[in-house]
Structure 1
Amino acid sequence: MKRLYFVLLVSTLFTVATAQRVARSYIPHGAFFYDSQWKGVSSADKAAYYRVLAIDDKGQKMFYDYYITGQLQAEKHYISINRQNDRNTVLNGVCRTFHKSGRVESVLQYKNGKANGRALSFFPSGNIGMKLSYRNGLLDGPCYTYTENGRLEFTTIWRNGSKINEIKGGKDHYIDKNTNEDEFCERYCHDEALIMAQSKSIYKARENKEQNVKATKKLNSNPTTESKEPQAAHDDVAKKERINSINNKVKEIESSQTSKEDKYLANIKYPDTPNEKTGAISDKMSSDGVIPQKGRFNFTYLHSLLSKENERSKSIDVLTGISHNFQLNSSQIIDGFGAQKEVVFHHNMIYDAQNSKDKVTGSKPRQIGFFGIITGSNLFIDRINIFTWSEEEMYLIAQEAINAGYKTLGGIDYKSTDGNFILEPKMKPTDYGEREVIVTFTHQSNLYAGLYHIQMDIK
């Protein structure tokens, strides 16, 4: 029978918090880097993980670890951090680690650097593997070991680090007889679907980029070679036309036609949202949460910037014109990893790159960020980040997406989630050059300055 052996190296594991679920796709300024053995390294090209510091809503110190590819690896609270060797980091609180898939890998409780309280481990499938109990760094109490198909295989009793008794099977006393659930397990796995969706989105985005790079290299290495197979020749022509279309778009933006496009953007008139489509959520809107229709973020238009391949390349001037329509007149450029940048336009808020935090500087803050690869004055957009103080504006964006053919991940009622849900298209794009876009909504008091965050990603 397959059994999960959960090796708890108390000096090497880390603590967690339940806050920064959604990370920006670039590596923030000031991040710490670690290799695969959790030894500190000087730069991202030598790293397997990176770390971002934060403060939770209770004022406690915490950090978030990410795989260098961008997926969340762990959430942790701490007393002190050792940047040279993470074995010497002192943890204090709850620690969660994650598989690259986004599934929870382990949950542990720490006190002053020692395991203290309950500990869980999970199979990659998401099923529980082991339940343990610690006191002052030593196993103490019942331990339950499960098979991967969910059968309780062993029950073991520990006292001060010594095994007292072990039997096959047994009864898991953590499971409530009324709900048939372990409340501790449920509490620290409730957001697993959200994190899995984000991990999948990041993986797909990287996979698509790698495929595009390979296709470009192949075309450049054989620009005039004719394929012996008619279908292969047709595919190569289609790929080449797609790449040429992108290059031509960049050249157009660099040309004098930019001023004409700016003039067009300055006169964009977004369609009014019919009252009957938003009436169902109007009871949640406060009278103080009204954004003028002219300045609202428009899902349909922003979606087209990502989903249509020939619309993704924009000059900074054009992005400025778009953002003026959203009544955002201040701007900044945030450095990412390598050639990655985020061009940000905001009102009464800024992104503090040194401390990797969003800061509110006045009332009714709003922001939009266009993230991608920048060359000169042009940006090839991979992601759009939206921040708003207005619950109404957040729900209107969601409603517009649903009206456009989107659905909630897992079929949940998005109006009951306090702004924490994911929207995905009901059908895959059928038009050539059109991409699938996933929309993630996040609202946490200790994340993004407590604002509503809407993140649009190419899948």
Structure 2
Amino acid sequence: MKRLYFIILLSTLFTVATAQRVTRTYIPHGAFFYNSQWQGVPNASKASYYRVLALDDKGQKMFYDYYITGQLQAEKHYISINRQNDKYTVLNGVCRTFHKSGRVESVLQYKNGKANGRALSFFPNGNIGMKLSYRNGLLDGPCYTYTEGGRLEYTTIWRNGTKVNEIKGGKDHYINKNTNEDEFCEHYRHDEALLMAQSKSISKARGNNDKQKIVEVKDTKTTKENLKMDYKGSQIVQGTATTDDVKSSKGTKKESSINLTKEDRYVANIKYPDSSAEKTEPVKVEKSSKRNSTQVRMFNFPYLLSMLSNDNERVKSLDVLTDISRKFQLNTSQIIDGFGAQKEFIYHHNMSYDVQNSNDKITGNNPRQIGYFGTALGKMLTIERINIFTWSEEEMYHIAQEAINAGYKPLGGLDYQSTNGNFVLEPKANSTNYGEHEVVVTFTHQPNLYAGLYHIQMDIR
């Protein structure tokens, strides 16, 4: 019965989806919506999946499908899309589907809407389920069926859709006798660790939202009146002051250093870059340049890690976050509403987030941004995630190196410097201290995501 299920799954796989590698809680403007039967519906409230169109690195048409909860469900190349009934969508090229955990579920090659070439299916535990071979929409060639435990159960030979032979066991001729691996299979699972980490991050964020966690603020002077917040354009509004006018709640620089908090001392030790370095040329996103690296203060990973991992550091006021972010030359700000009490306070330079169209917009040279996501009560935020965006490859690798120096290692043991900015770092040892949390750091760089910027996401595990 399992073998029949896998054959049906792969032979009828016409439209499957992927969740963009975007972890914000916004469905992109212009997304297509489908119900559980892959029939088109008008909006998200009736949908089980949503679809986002894109182009791959070669300029070929593809789309990403997502579970409505945000996890990647599939990525496929196509010729045409049917928005009313997805079974009439015409696929062409390699298509992958994913379990909700982020593990690869299937890989299938198409040509002009018909299965043509190799096809794979995987169990939820990651083990191979079946290896099939198609020609012009029909099973043709050797097919291998595995048990969930990884044992080759059957070898079957097909010719033009007809089974001509089947034996128990057998030998999988796709496996290289020198490496003991199926290179095709491994090639289409190379990013599985990254996808699993992102899926876990999304699931955790959704779980926190469902619980509607409320932050307990210990400031008895705080009232609903003086903590009222909203956003107007890209300015945070508190009475009549914007973020450019906000002063530190701890007073002026004339105060004695004895009274300074850890945040104040940190802010005081960060120097503004030379203001003459600021440019107003037309929009241009460069990959990296050592010449420009001295113009801005790079993000400090150890300090940001302490803000997120330590319960005593996670609750920050808007004033403190503003002061810290301004020292990184991030002087413009927004508040982005999430689910319930969740919000993201973002600070940026030469970029912004377009809430209506759900995308990042570049407005000048060398764009950078930091976002603090969490549960808000008035002007206090309990930080649950930190998002960093940068134009600079050098800065991205600087953050990664600081993390490694702090005891992090690449997930899967891969060479992170050869991944073009797509890898995951995790702590080498589990935290044993009370009130501390492990933080996983996900690096993402895709031409069609985040305006092509490098994205570094820090999540509590």
TM-score (norm 2): 0.77
What aligned pairs does 1:117-128 form with structure 2 within 5 A after superposition?
117-128=117-128
TM-score (norm 1): 0.77
What aligned pairs does 1:2-151 form with structure 2 within 5 A after superposition?
5-6=5-6, 7-8=8-9, 10=11, 12-14=13-15, 20-151=20-151
Pairing partner for 1:287 from 275, 286, 290: 290
What aligned pairs does 1:49-448 form with structure 2 within 5 A after superposition?
49-210=49-210, 213=213, 243-245=216-218, 254=227, 259-261=247-249, 268-270=267-269, 287-288=290-291, 290-292=293-295, 295-309=297-311, 311-312=313-314, 319-334=321-336, 336=338, 341-352=343-354, 356-372=358-374, 380-425=382-427, 426-428=429-431, 430-432=433-435, 434-448=436-450
Unaligned runs of at least 5 residues, structure 1: 217-241, 273-284
In the other structure, the counterpart of 1:220 is none
Relative distance call for 1:138 and 1:350 in structure 2 (3 A) is farther
Shift of 1:185: 0.2
CA contact (8 A) 2:374 2:385 kept: yes
> What SS is found at the alignment partner of 2:216?
helix
Relative distance call for 1:416 and 1:79 in structure 2 (3 A) is closer
In the other structure, the counterpart of 2:274 is none
Report the Cα distance in structure 1 between the residues aligned to 2:106 and 2:364, rounded to whole angstroms.
Answer: 40
The one-letter code of the counterpart of 2:216 is I
CA contact (8 A) 1:291 1:390 kept: no
Q: CA RMSD in A?
A: 3.7
The one-letter code of the counterpart of 1:13 is F
Shift of 1:270: 4.7
The one-letter code of the counterpart of 1:254 is L
Report the Cα distance in structure 2 between the residues aligned to 1:136 and 1:372, rounded to whole angstroms.
Answer: 51
Q: Does 60-69 or 185-194 show the bigger shift?
A: 60-69
In the other structure, the counterpart of 1:232 is none
The one-letter code of the counterpart of 1:396 is H
The one-letter code of the counterpart of 1:66 is Y
After superposition, what is the alpha-carbon deviation per residue over 1:402-443, rounded to whole angstroms, capped at 9, x for unaligned? Answer: 3334333234443443322222233326233x4432211123
In the other structure, the counterpart of 2:280 is none
Shift of 1:455: 0.7
CA contact (8 A) 1:61 1:77 kept: yes
After superposition, what is the alpha-carbon deviation per residue over 1:241-262, rounded to whole angstroms, capped at 9, x for unaligned? Answer: x735499889798399x74338
Relative distance call for 1:372 and 1:444 in structure 2 (3 A) is same
Percent sequence identity is: 71
Report the Cα distance in structure 2 between the residues aligned to 1:184 and 1:317, rounded to whole angstroms.
Answer: 52
CA contact (8 A) 1:30 1:356 kept: no
Relative distance call for 1:430 and 1:111 in structure 2 (3 A) is same
Report the Cα distance in structure 2 between the residues aligned to 1:323 and 1:121, rounded to whole angstroms.
Answer: 46
CA contact (8 A) 1:329 1:347 kept: yes
Shift of 1:121: 0.3
CA contact (8 A) 1:349 1:366 kept: yes
Shift of 1:122: 0.7
Report the Cα distance in structure 2 between the residues aligned to 1:119 and 1:112, rounded to whole angstroms.
Answer: 16
Report the Cα distance in structure 1 between the residues aligned to 2:153 and 2:308, rounded to whole angstroms.
Answer: 50
CA contact (8 A) 2:93 2:110 kept: yes
Shift of 1:208: 4.5
After superposition, what is the alpha-carbon deviation per residue over 1:251-309, rounded to whole angstroms, capped at 9, x for unaligned? Answer: 798399x743386779814579xxxxxxxxxxxx853352446x221223333443344
After superposition, what is the alpha-carbon deviation per residue over 1:155-189, rounded to whole angstroms, capped at 9, x for unaligned? Answer: 22222222222222333222223322211101101
The one-letter code of the counterpart of 2:444 is T
Kindly indicate which of the two structures has a greater share of residues assigned to helix: 1
CA contact (8 A) 2:227 2:378 kept: no
Report the Cα distance in structure 1 between the residues aligned to 2:225 and 2:309, rounded to whole angstroms.
Answer: 19
CA contact (8 A) 1:92 1:110 kept: yes
